Amino acid sequence: NQQVASPTVRTTCPYCGVGCGVLATPQADGSVAIAGDPDHPANFGRLCSKGSALGETLSLDGRLLYPEIAGDRASWDEALDRVAGTFRQTIDQFGPDSVAIFGSGQLLTEDYYVANKLMKGFIGSGNMDTNSRLCMASSVAGHKRAFGSDTVPGNYEDLELADLIVLVGSNLGWCHPVLYQRIVKAKAERPDMRVVLIDPRRTVTADIADLHLAVQSDGDSALFVGLLAHLAQHGLTAPDFIADHTSGYSAALMVAEDWPLERVAEAAGVPPKAVEIFYSWFAQTEKVVTVYSQGVNQSASGTDKVNAIINCHLATGRIGRAGMGPFSVTGQPNAMGGREVGGLANMLAAHMDFTPETIDRVGRFWGSNTVAKAPGLKAVDMFAAMARGEIKAVWIMATNPVDSMPEADAVRAALVACPFVVVSDMSARTDTGITAHVRLPAAGWGEKDGTVTNSERRISRQRPFLALPGEARPDWWIVKEVARRMGFGQSFDYESPAQIFAEHVALTAFENEGSRSLDLTGLGGADYATLAPTQWPVRRKPTARMFGDGRFLTPDGKARFVPVLPPPPFAPPPGSFILNTGRVRDHWHTMTRTGKAARLSAHYAEPFVELHPADAERLNIRRATLVRLSNRHGSAVVRALVTDRQRPGHLFAPMHWTDQFASSGRVDALVTAKVDPVSSQPALKMAEVHAEPV
């Protein structure tokens, strides 16, 4: 891969939502030296195994380098004309809701902005959703219900300042390793700091836990509902904060009071004594941060779980101050940036929902009278509509839904049946790309230029240090060229990501009198080239913490308690298991990049399933033999990893392997497409499956 820069370039890791700063230094031999950026406030020089191996993932092996139509190389003009022409024809014949864009938390904010503007602002449909729907949609919905805005209150420093960290549904040690390292260091320096882990699995993260509550799936909900009742019953709430800064406390408490400790313990599947210890630590400790991730979000009751956690922080007034608050950590590098530009189907733009006022405001800003009037189809519904023939043209950007969506075989069938599929991706080898009529080569990490936002609202630059290979182009350029060919050229007259970012900044500030937390006014005159990592909102200066003044973004300025009723326990029929899916330490999503680094594959070389020794014995499954997992949605054959880290009756399988890397290892084929009723995030951690030796 040809280099454009030889001095060290300051950029950002493209993997998880920690958003670590990276120093990339191209070498004379063509390689790139990678180091953590000591000045980046997310990582202060640290990198995890994936980040430090970034230099080993930059070869052009497996790259899509030229546009293709029907599998044959085409010119950019031919490919772009085909995409624009077919989208235009489809819209003219069937209406704007017959087309869709499915994006990704891998897109940079500028890419996302332009794609969202095209679909919602000019095509006039809400049908732009993203794989971030699979990642943090329940956190978004929970934030909006409680705070009136999708705002993460705190920051990473709070994890070091806390006296108690509660980790819920998070294997931080593998999935956000640098954040985990920061906690390990803080705990070593302050041994009185406590960590509670709430997770069905005894993951590596349990190594730092003073208490591990190995709940059954979705048992975390009851824990936090019961905690609210416990705090109230023992007079351990903050009555002044509740009275002055919140609403809905009585209603939430009335539901919670039906959940005494013994009932909670039974629903959670953990000993009452362990619940008692957790409750007493939470009650006695002022500085508490509750960190939650996909074990909370990827559930059919994910939004309620988010609010059950937030309720406990509101009841104790522990929010917006140093070392305390609820804290959602996102899976992807730019899930936050995507939601900031409105890249979810239920959002219009710049943290604005669809209302007559916002549609008018955004329409005036964009100079369009065809702005979508209503939310579009969310991920699961989008592919279901495709299967029914209602979506007739789809553009998939920087993601691989044939492997990562629930009921992945049905998603593949929907794409195969769809009359027109466009895939823009840096990789030639994806199971989704195979279904495409037009493939567009996109720029990859090291070539892309733009911004991302990490889990603590910090905007950082990704900067290029490699030339664009072959005919690859940045995603924003590809979208604007299609927009131009569809007749929207005047509004997509972009020459650089800096120009797009400036427009994004201006939209966040447009007619924003403090009613929207996403306000980047202060970045309006910033030099994009040298932009330092900055936490939004940036009105006059960056904001490290939100809501410390007790004022929220609801109409009455008060945070809202949400009554939460824990879901009934998920009890699969006798003989079947609950399948939990997730990540391993050294691979990322569907391995199109990490699969290139031999040392990353040394950690786990092939797809596997973890199961408890008692289950293995009952099914006559021996260690390291092959196991077939199956249900009515599909099947996968994986290696048995027998371990007492699993609860009996629960299985865990990683999501990374695809038909490109290991045939029959696609576990998302087995995952149910059941979704949370508020956020429409799928329950990726609770599929019912059978297991048998092969």
Is 134 or 670 the residue whose CB approaches ligand SF4 more closely? Answer: 134
* Binding residue (CB under 6 A) for ligand SF4 from 3, 10, 16, 681: 16
Residue with nearest beta carbon to ligand SF4: 51
Look at phi and psi of residue 620 and say left if phi exceeds 0, alpha if psi is from -120 to 50, else beta.
left
Nearest in space to 625 (alpha carbons), one of 608, 639, 643: 639
Angle between helices 475-483 and 76-94 (to 10 degrees): 60
User: Rule CB under 6 A: is residue 21 a binding residue for ligand SF4?
Assistant: no
- Smallest distance, ligand SF4 to C-beta of residue 157, A: 16
Identify which range of 15-23, 69-77, 322-330, 527-535 contacts ligand SF4 by CB under 6 A: 15-23
What does the alpha-carbon distance between residue 440 and residue 64 come to, in Å, rounded to a whole number? 8
Site for ligand SF4 in 173-192 (CB under 6 A): 176-178
Identify which range of 16-24, 229-237, 480-488, 655-663 contacts ligand SF4 by CB under 6 A: 16-24
- Smallest distance, ligand SF4 to C-beta of residue 575, A: 38
**Amino acid letter, residue 72:** D
User: Rule CB under 6 A: is residue 13 a binding residue for ligand SF4?
Assistant: yes
**Amino acid letter, residue 371:** V
Q: Which residues are registered as beta bridge partners of 328?
A: 292
User: Rule CB under 6 A: is residue 516 a binding residue for ligand SF4?
Assistant: no
- Smallest distance, ligand SF4 to C-beta of residue 131, A: 17
Identify which range of 43-51, 198-206, 258-266, 572-580 contacts ligand SF4 by CB under 6 A: 43-51
Identify which range of 46-54, 97-105, 143-151, 418-426 contacts ligand SF4 by CB under 6 A: 46-54
- List helix spans (H) across 435-579: 475-483, 497-509
Tell the burial category of 210 from Cβ atoms under 10 Å away from its Cβ (0-12, 13-18, 19+). Answer: middle
187, 324, 382, 530, 600 from 278: Cα distances, Å: 18, 16, 41, 46, 36
Identify which range of 40-48, 456-464, 603-611, 637-645 contacts ligand SF4 by CB under 6 A: 40-48
75, 101, 378, 418, 653 from 386: Cα distances, Å: 28, 12, 12, 6, 28
**505 DSSP 8-state letter:** H
Is 153 or 177 the residue whose CB approaches ligand SF4 more closely? Answer: 177
Per-residue b or e along 643-675, where b marks 16 or more CB atoms closer than 10 Å to that residue's CB: eeebbebbbbbbbbbbbbbbebbbbbbbbbbbb
Query: Which residues does 316 contact at the CB level (< 8 Å), separation at least 6?
Result: 231, 236, 237, 238, 241, 288
* Binding residue (CB under 6 A) for ligand SF4 from 9, 11, 19, 107: 19
What does the alpha-carbon distance between residue 670 and residue 229 come to, in Å, rounded to a whole number? 37
Is 18 or 478 the residue whose CB approaches ligand SF4 more closely? Answer: 18
Is 33 or 571 the residue whose CB approaches ligand SF4 more closely? Answer: 33
Is 148 or 173 the residue whose CB approaches ligand SF4 more closely? Answer: 173
Provide the mask over 47-76, with x wherever binding to ligand SF4 is found by CB under 6 A and - wherever it is not.
xx-xx-------------------------
Residues near ligand SF4, by CB under 6 A:
13, 15-16, 18-20, 43, 47-48, 50-51, 176-178
